[in-house]
């Protein structure tokens, strides 16, 4: 019998706000443990929560980005449980009236090769609700440490329908929402910092069966590829168990062990009624007006795949280049700024090529810690725009362009300044000096064979003679001009 996997994800995303969800305590990463707390976070007696309006606005933005319906009224519920990560023994969340309903995430699967766009489809969402994050526990052999710095941080939970069927789809889904959320400035989605976390629910069933199988929930993946690997492993484990009857799949929570690359049982899954949800009596329901929704909508950025389709159409850029530029809004805007600064004299292709091939290579030259973020790049959009402009205007050749690039990455000087200071501007065509150099190259017996071939009608034979001219002029000659002068001299 053939089996298929069914996967639904719960993705938690911390929203980038100044303060926490229900109090003024700051929300930030990387501080001394337990320094970002206050009586509300610590649930001291007598405190009351006050809702963070910016967190609601960012959640509405997230819902609109992902095509959700925004509920006109949503409310806050207490999710009760006893665990040291929450000092008040409940988490404020949303149970039966979440902020956002439905929606979907456009994903792209791998194409047949690197330069071919893959298939696109939309993965359905169930809901997005807003809640508060809990503290972080670090376990040791005999004891555990607790840090409440992230407790109370605004946290969106994006719940998908059981609408994915492979580890690759899960990878594409995570990538797509991260790109959209980072691009909209709603979160930095750094999984290593816990800003984006994912629980993957997986079941397997015979192909053709419409009823869902018993689901296993996976936790503890701290990168998008970690999620993909964990899901791939779990699909294999469950499929093998179903096919061979080696074990019975039970509803449970399993932990991904990134070192051994296996999932391990953590605990049996509690049913939702164990949480004894009830409306939080300290918080009012939230009403969201159509005007508010329109105002948030007006500020939404273009979605990455929409931008990519536009770049391919408007700028005629190849898929490979757009698939580097478009997922990263900062990079895409860098490109648009550079293109604008060519004053209409540069092509999008030339600008995009410099960014994708030269700039990104330079920035990532120092692996890991040595990587330079785009925001700290010495080379600005204006540098690239000007370099493209003076190259296309014929002030310098492409070869000199490379020299200018190396120089401006070091000094940060503008290309035209470098060209002027170093006297790199191209010799005007038909220059006597150039003709003399060409005559010399022709006279060199080394080139007798190439000249013979050229005279027999092989135009390409000239190519081997262009190099020495470029060398003699230190790259300042225009190769097309050199070819022309050779032809004139030989014909
Ligand atoms: N049989 C199944 N196989 C695969 N995925 C499933 C199955 N049943 C439900 N899911 C998925 O599991 C997820 C359930 O998430 P939800 O937040 O609704 O409940 P929960 O996991 O019980 O709650 P909690 O937030 O406490 O973890 C959804 O993404 C849903 O699509
Ligand atoms: Mg959930
Ligand atoms: Mg869950």
Question: Residues 183-197: what's their mean pLDDT?
Answer: 97
DSSP state of 68: P
pLDDT category at 272 given cuts 50, 70, 90 is low
pLDDT digit string, tens, across residues 81-118: 989 999 999 999 999 999 999 999 999 999 999 889 99
* Angle, in degrees to the nearest 10, between helices 304-314 and 167-183: 80
Question: Residues 295-307: what's their mean pLDDT?
Answer: 98
Which pTM does this prediction carry?
A: 0.87
pLDDT category at 431 given cuts 50, 70, 90 is low
- Give the least confident one: 64-68, 140-144, 171-175: 140-144
| For residue 338, pLDDT beyond 80 | yes
Ligand 3: centre distance to CA 94 (Å): 14
User: Smallest Cα–Cα separation from 300: which of 63, 121, 71?
Assistant: 63
Using CA atoms, how far residue 114 sits from 111, 318, 323, in Å, is 7, 11, 10
Question: Residues 435-442: what's their mean pLDDT?
Answer: 84
| For residue 445, pLDDT beyond 70 | yes
| For residue 428, pLDDT beyond 70 | no
Phi/psi at 58 (5° precision): -65, -35
pLDDT digit string, tens, across residues 226-261: 999 999 999 999 999 999 999 999 999 999 999 999
Q: What is the DSSP secondary-structure string of 139-189?
A: E-SS-EEEE-SSTT-EEEEEEE-S-B-SHHHHHHHHHHHHHHHHHTTS---
Using CA atoms, how far residue 155 sits from 61, 83, 146, 151, in Å, is 14, 18, 19, 10
Q: How do strand 73-74 and strand 104-108 relate by DSSP bridges? A: unpaired
Ligand 3: centre distance to CA 388 (Å): 51
CB 171 within 8 A of CB 228: yes
Complex confidence, ipTM? 0.96
pLDDT digit string, tens, across residues 383-427: 999 999 999 888 888 888 999 999 999 999 999 999 888 887 876
Alpha carbons 473 and 485: distance in angstroms, whole number? 14
Ligand 2: centre distance to CA 10 (Å): 6
pLDDT for the residue 366: 74
Other Cβ atoms less than 10 A from the Cβ of 97: the count is 17
Ligand nearest to the CA of 8: 1
Three-class DSSP category at 262: strand
Using CA positions, which residue lies closest to atom 20 of ligand 1? 272
Using CA positions, which residue lies closest to atom 30 of ligand 1? 8
Using CA positions, which residue lies closest to atom 7 of ligand 1? 215
Location of structure tokens 């097309």: 480
pLDDT for the residue 254: 95
pLDDT category at 186 given cuts 50, 70, 90 is very high
Task: At 424, list the tokens.
Answer: 């790199």
Ligand 3: centre distance to CA 9 (Å): 8
Q: Cβ < 6 Å from ligand 1: which residues?
A: 6-10, 159-162, 201-203, 212-213, 215, 217, 272
Report the length, in residues, of the chain: 491
pLDDT for the residue 455: 86
Atom of ligand 1 nearest to the CA of 79: 26
Q: Is the dihedral of CA 378, 175, 16, 69 positive or negative?
A: positive
């Amino acid at each position: 019998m053939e089996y298929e996997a069914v996967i639904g994800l719960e993705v938690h995303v911390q929203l980038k706000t100044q303060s926490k969800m229900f109090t003024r305590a700051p929300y930030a990463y990387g501080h001394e443990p337990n320094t970002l707390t206050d009586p509300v976070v610590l649930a001291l007696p007598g405190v009351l929560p006050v809702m963070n309006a910016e967190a609601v606005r960012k959640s509405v933005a997230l819902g609109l980005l992902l095509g959700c319906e925004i509920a006109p009224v949503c409310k806050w519920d207490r999710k009760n449980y006893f665990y040291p990560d929450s000092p008040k023994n409940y988490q404020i969340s949303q149970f039966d009236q979440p902020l956002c309903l439905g929606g979907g995430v456009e994903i792209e699967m791998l194409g047949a090769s690197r330069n071919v766009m893959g298939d696109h489809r939309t993965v359905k969402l169930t809901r997005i609700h807003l809640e508060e994050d809990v503290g972080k526990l670090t376990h040791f052999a005999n004891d555990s440490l607790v840090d409440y710095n992230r407790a109370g941080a605004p946290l969106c939970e994006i719940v998908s329908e059981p609408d994915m069927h492979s580890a690759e789809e899960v990878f594409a889904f995570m990538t797509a929402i991260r790109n959209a959320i980072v691009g909209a400035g709603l979160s930095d989605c750094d999984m290593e910092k816990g800003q984006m976390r994912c629980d993957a629910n997986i079941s397997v069933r015979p192909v053709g069966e419409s009823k869902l199988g018993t689901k296993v929930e996976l936790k503890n993946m701290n990168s998008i590829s970690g999620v993909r690997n964990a899901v791939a492993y779990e699909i294999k484990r469950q499929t093998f168990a179903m096919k061979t009857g080696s074990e019975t799949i039970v509803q449970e929570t399993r932990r991904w062990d990134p070192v051994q690359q296996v999932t391990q049982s953590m605990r049996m899954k509690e049913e939702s009624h164990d949480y004894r949800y009830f409306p939080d009596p300290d918080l009012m329901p939230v009403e969201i007006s159509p005007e508010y929704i329109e105002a948030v909508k007006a500020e939404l950025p273009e979605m990455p795949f929409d931008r990519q389709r536009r770049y391919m159409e408007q700028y005629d850029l190849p898929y490979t280049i757009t698939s580097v530029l478009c997922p990263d809004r900062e990079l895409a805007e860098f490109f648009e700024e550079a293109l604008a600064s060519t004053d209409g004299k540069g092509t999008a292709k030339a600008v995009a090529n410099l960014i994708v091939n030269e700039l990104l290579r330079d920035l990532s030259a120092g692996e890991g810690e040595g990587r330079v973020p785009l925001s700290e790049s010495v080379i600005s959009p204006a540098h690239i725009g000007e370099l493209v402009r003076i190259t296309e205007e014929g002030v310098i050749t492409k070869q000199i362009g490379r020299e200018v690039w190396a120089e401006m990455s070091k000094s940060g000087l503008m290309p035209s300044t470098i060209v002027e200071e170093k006297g790199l501007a191209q010799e005007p065509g038909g220059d006597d000096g150039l003709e003399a150099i060409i005559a010399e190259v022709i006279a060199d017996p080394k080139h007798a064979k190439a000249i013979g071939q050229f005279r027999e009608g092989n135009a390409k034979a000239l190519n081997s003679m262009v190099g020495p001219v470029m060398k003699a002029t230190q790259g300042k000659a225009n190769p097309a001009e050199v070819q022309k002068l050779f032809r004139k001299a030989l014909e």
